[in-house]
Amino acid sequence: MRDVPTYRPELADGVRDVPHSSAGVPVQGLGIIRRRSSSSATSLSPPPAGGAAGPTPAHRRPMRPFQRSTGDSILGGVCAGLAARLAVKTAVVRVAAVVSIFLGGFGILAYMAMWVFVPVADEEESIASRVVGERRELQIVLALSSALFAVLLVTRSLGVSDLGVPTLTLLVGAMGALVVWRGASTAETTRLRERLNAAPGVAGAHSGWRRMAVRTGTGIVLVLVGVGELSRTGSFSGAALGVFVGTMLFIGGFLVLFAPWWIRTLRDLSTERRERVRAQERADMAAHVHDSVLQTLSLIQKAAGDPREVVRLARSEERELRYWLFNPERLGRHGQRPESLAEAVAVIEREVEDSFGVGVELILVGDCPMDDGLSALVGACHAATVNAAKWSGCAQVAVFVEVERSTVSAYVRDLGVGFDPALVPGDRQGIACSMVERMERAGGSVAVHSTPGVGTEVELVLPRPTSAR
């Protein structure tokens, strides 16, 4: 078992156990996946371990199959999976992997290969086989890889070829990342996104300012390094005119050859994104219908014997649905202070209809943000509506609220029994008083018009503060 291919002897120094396995085992993993899918995938990211496919350990004790870990993963779960397979500590494998990156970038290649070719613990297919199986994914990956390849060729022709092995490694690494991006299952993508979001410098920085500073800083450093490298290799000297022209021709040719394809692929990508958004919307809609309408319908069936309850349920569902469809801004957020008058009066409608089984016909003209005065108005309006619902004996209460430039007025009207305001006993004036007091404190006024047998109307008028006009 010590016949490990010698292209990775570096690992042997620090960690005794890792080298024999980190080379041998992935091979096995590769072998499994190969059966299905490697022929075309090899052209994308040549598996570095491919050459070592020969020595399959036959006499080893039965071990768990090599699968990428889901729980204990940092990126693709390769190291954790490997560690589980080898029964060593995850940290050991991780250190080895990091060390191997500095040895000609080999670690990156190996990691990418394993990421792409080894399936995740709870999935059947590897990323590579998924990409190869989907024609469009394959096309996208090929298109983007060709673009990467073009960039590489251009860089080379500019005379920066001394970058050599690291550049190539990075290129293959980027291709691997591409394949992962396109081929990873939804579950894995979600996991990855969470990981990346938690990583510092991506979105982990708390304030937007810090995040931007990190990004700008990184960008500037990279640009400076690039410029330094270019001027060092001297391709900017005057003698390089021929090279420059050649490069331009080369780039032009590449564009003519591949640009339409790239563009089409990109368009496909955006179409796909749109479709995803649409599917998401449809799912939201279905979820809403399920949560509200279907739920209410079944409640109604259960309460079929109680007409009052049926009416209440139907009414509240209708109101919710109506707002959801036409006035989402009025839905408000449960348990939060309403921010606009529309939201606040919608709460009145909701609460009165739900608690008293009386219909509230709410007409609102205009809208404005809530302030203390308006809170008083809405409170008084609520009290008036509750009164009408409770005492009028009428099945419908009309609430009209209008925002004008200098005033906000609210009218609560019912066609119920009515009363003679002069005959209301002193001890029953509590609510009227609370309405009047509240409105007067806010600088507004209340008028109650009621005729026995005809109905009642409460008029609430509040001048608007000049600053808000």
Partner 1 sequence: MFVVDDHALVRSGIRAELGDAVDVVGEADEVGAAVELILERVPDVVLLDVHMPGGGGRAVLEQVLREVPTVAFLALSMSDAAEDVIDVIRAGARGYVTKHISGTDLVDAILRIADGDAVFSPRLAGFVLDAFADPAHGLIVAPSIEPGLDQLTPRERQVLRLLARGYAYKEIAKELGISTKTVERHVSAVLHKLQLSNRYQLTSWAAERRML
Footprint of partner 1 on residues 339-358 (CB under 8 A)? Answer: 340, 342
Find residue 450's DSSP bridge partners. 456
Binding flag, residue 292, partner 1 (CB under 8 A) = no
C-alpha separations of 237 from 225, 227, 230, 233, 250 in Å: 18, 14, 11, 10, 20
Binding mask 164-183 for partner 1 (x = CB under 8 A): --------------------
Residue 269 exposed, middle or buried by CB count within 10 Å (0-12, 13-18, 19+): middle
Footprint of partner 1 on residues 200-259 (CB under 8 A)? Answer: none
- Taking the C-alpha atoms of residue 123 and residue 125, their distance in angstroms, rounded to an integer, is 6
From the list 56-64, 304-312, 376-384, 398-406, the region that binds partner 1 by CB under 8 A is 398-406
**68, 77 contact by CB (below 8 A):** yes
Give 41 or 378: the residue with its C-beta nearer to partner 1: 378
Q: Which residue has the tokens 């979105």?
A: 203
From the list 8-16, 225-233, 410-418, 421-429, the region that binds partner 1 by CB under 8 A is 410-418
Give 260 or 366: the residue with its C-beta nearer to partner 1: 366
How far apart are CB 309 and partner 1 at their closest, in Å?
A: 19
- Taking the C-alpha atoms of residue 324 and residue 288, their distance in angstroms, rounded to an integer, is 9
Give 207 or 467: the residue with its C-beta nearer to partner 1: 467
Binding flag, residue 325, partner 1 (CB under 8 A) = yes
User: What are the structure tokens assigned to 459, written together?
Assistant: 């008029």
How far apart are CB 395 and partner 1 at their closest, in Å?
A: 9
Give 81 or 444: the residue with its C-beta nearer to partner 1: 444
Number of residues that bind partner 1 (CB under 8 A): 29
Binding flag, residue 288, partner 1 (CB under 8 A) = no
Q: What residue type is assigned to position 102 of the chain?
A: F
Find residue 414's DSSP bridge partners. 397, 456
Footprint of partner 1 on residues 425-464 (CB under 8 A)? Answer: 457, 464
Binding flag, residue 117, partner 1 (CB under 8 A) = no
Give 133 or 452: the residue with its C-beta nearer to partner 1: 452
Give 199 or 363: the residue with its C-beta nearer to partner 1: 363
CA angle 132, 127, 133 (to 5 degrees): 20
Q: What is the DSSP letter of 83?
A: H
Binding flag, residue 365, partner 1 (CB under 8 A) = yes
**233, 115 contact by CB (below 8 A):** no
- Taking the C-alpha atoms of residue 382 and residue 348, their distance in angstroms, rounded to an integer, is 6
Give 257 or 468: the residue with its C-beta nearer to partner 1: 468
Binding flag, residue 364, partner 1 (CB under 8 A) = yes
Phi/psi of residue 458, each to 5°? -105, 130
Sheet holding 455-463, edge to edge: 359-365, 396-403, 407-414, 455-463, 445-451
Binding flag, residue 363, partner 1 (CB under 8 A) = yes
Binding flag, residue 405, partner 1 (CB under 8 A) = yes
How far apart are CB 303 and partner 1 at their closest, in Å?
A: 20
Phi/psi of residue 99, each to 5°? -60, -45
The residues binding partner 1 (CB under 8 A) are: 322-323, 325-327, 340, 342, 359, 361, 363-369, 398, 400, 402-405, 411, 413, 415, 457, 464, 468-469
